[in-house]
Amino acid sequence: MVAHVSGQPLTGHAVAAIVKRRTAAAGLPVEYRGHSLRKGLVQAARLAGVSDSRVMATTRHKSMAMLRRYQGQVGLVTQAASAGLVTQARRDQAAGGN
């Protein structure tokens, strides 16, 4: 769970507002939302070979059908900015890193 500096859990609305402000500040042309992070995590985890059960435990998906919907466009991740993160994570893992 992600918490605010006050120690209180961040709400979904708070995460969405943070993502919107930070992407605008970075000058990104695409409007991202907090939900984009969740979908991106699911897709990157699939590419990295993380088990569905671990992903579902992290994202709190309750059904495999919904997880599959999130994974549906996993090929697009290879063209996304996060693709480099997956590649680097695999290199780190192969080198003995966490």
- Per-residue pLDDT band for 80 (boundaries 50, 70, 90) equals low
- CA distances 60 to 32, 64, 79, Å, are 21, 11, 26
Q: Give me the residue spans of the domains in the chain.
A: 1-32, 35-94
Interatomic CA distance for residues 86 and 40, integer angstroms: 11
Amino acid at 1: M
Q: With 0.85 as the threshold, say if the pTM is over it.
A: no
Interatomic CA distance for residues 59 and 91, integer angstroms: 24
For the record, the structure tokens of 65 come out as 């059908």
The answer on pLDDT for 83 being more than 60 is: no
The answer on pLDDT for 41 being more than 60 is: yes
For the record, the structure tokens of 98 come out as 């966490």
Q: Kindly report which listed range (1-5, 12-16, 92-96) carries the lowest average pLDDT score.
A: 1-5
